[in-house]
Amino acid sequence: MAQSAPAPLAFLGRDVSQGEVVACLLLADGREAVPRWRVPNNQPGAEALADRLAQLAPQHGFGRLRIGLEATNLSWWPLACFLQETPRLAAIEREIYALNPKLVHGLKQADADTGKTDPVDAFFIAERLRLGRLPAPFQVDLRSAPLQRLTRFRAHLAQTLAREKNYFLSFLFLKFSGFCQEKAFGDPFGATSCAVLEEFTTEQLAQTPLEELARFVDERGRGRFADPEAVAATLRRAARDSYRLDRVLDEPLTLILGTTMATIRTLQTQLREGDKTIARELEALPPDRRTIRSVPGLGPVWTAGLVAEIGDIHRFPNDAALAKYAGLVWPPHESGSFQAQDTNLAKAGNAYLRYYLVEAANSVRLDCAEYREYYQAKYAQSPKHAHKCALVLTARKLVCLVDHLLRAGVVYQPPESRRDQKEVRTLPHAARPRPQRRTRLAPSAS
């Protein structure tokens, strides 16, 4: 029995801001069905948009609709959820795409006469939908949505904390340059390190007797330092070798360092509380959604970040599609017989998923022998930026494992336990081009 032809397809581009939504509806041949229109970005405006689309569908003969928007902030998310779930569009098959702005920006650059307005942006979003080759459609997963908000906030806190620490260290160099150079403590933000900076000035450290300073380090370190005298000697040497700044800078620098340290401690407290909440939310998910928790080194935070961003694994056909969604791909760069040895990471995917994959890979390589060996091999092969290159390649390898465990709903098994089983493909397939030297075409025999 012959199958019925699919319903005609239309494309709706939306430029979304906090105040309003500009819509552009294109038909399959590229014509605009109606002039572009605006609705408020609120519940009544979303209902009016859905009602108008329901009216336009029979008028212009389309039964399928691709809806696209640029995922630049959270103002698009409530409208996308509404259009996916509303019964007002029950008669229309619809797919919603949250597009990376890079996918639309390149298309706009090809047309230099358009300018930059909201209606123009809406048109090019619709045109990008019409061209095809789109990412995985947007899906509302209410089971993982709370976890996704928490893990994204956690990533924001971690990045803010890193910036604050760098800011603190830059001003600390002004006040106590030797402390940053000698590195008496492994962690400059540890309890003992902070106690030294709070209790002593640079001049006091340089003049304090070595025995007294060693006793202070041993007490504040609670006996964890194997050689407190060596730490004390390093601190005194750092104080004596530091620049001497004018006294007028002492009070401003003390205020800046104290305020920044208070901010760092607040962020650290918020991170700890957030991690506890993330762990509770992760346990509320079905067991088959958190099988990757069994991978050594994947604690609740990294597991939650991966699960929340991936959602339903079956919306990706394979691990290559998942890697592309995360931006962990290396597009080839070649011309004629030349193929570049070094290619740049795409970074055009989900930045949060890429962040959690890289952080998870860094944790897994420390606890899992299989990934530690892979990281070390790639580290030895990298001529520059060895750690970053090896870590990103390890993250790409981890994508294959995550995809397999979530898709099959099984837990991780170390290599020795799966020798008699079919090996899980963990090496990236065509993840990056094979390095080649510059070659010239051989002259044809004539």
pLDDT given at position 330: 82
- Reported residue count of the chain is 446
Q: Contact 66/11 with Cβ under 8 angstroms?
A: yes
> Where do the domains of the chain lie?
9-131, 148-276, 287-418
* Helix (H) or strand (E) segment spanning residue 42: none
Cα maximum dimension of the chain: 95
Cα–Cα nearest to 371, from 362, 358, 384:
362
* Residue 32 per-residue DSSP state: B
- pLDDT category at 445 given cuts 50, 70, 90 is very low
* 280-337 per-position pLDDT tens digit: 999 988 888 889 999 999 999 999 999 999 988 988 899 999 999 898 988 776 777 6
Domain covering 9-131, topology: Nucleotidyltransferase; domain 5 (3.30.420)
The residues, any chain, with a CB within 8 Å of residue 117's CB and separated by 6 or more, are: none
Q: Is the pLDDT of residue 372 over 90?
A: yes
* 397-430 per-position pLDDT tens digit: 999 999 999 999 999 988 776 555 555 454 444 4
Encode 11-22 in three state secondary structure. EEEEEECCCEEE
CA dihedral over 193, 195, 197, 200, signed as positive or negative = negative
Q: Contact 361/394 with Cβ under 8 angstroms?
A: yes
**Least trusted range by pLDDT, from 71-80, 159-168, 335-344:** 335-344
Q: What's the Rg (C-alpha) of the chain?
A: 28
**Mean pLDDT calculated for residue range 164-174:** 93
pTM above 0.85, yes or no: no
CA distance 281 to 156: 18
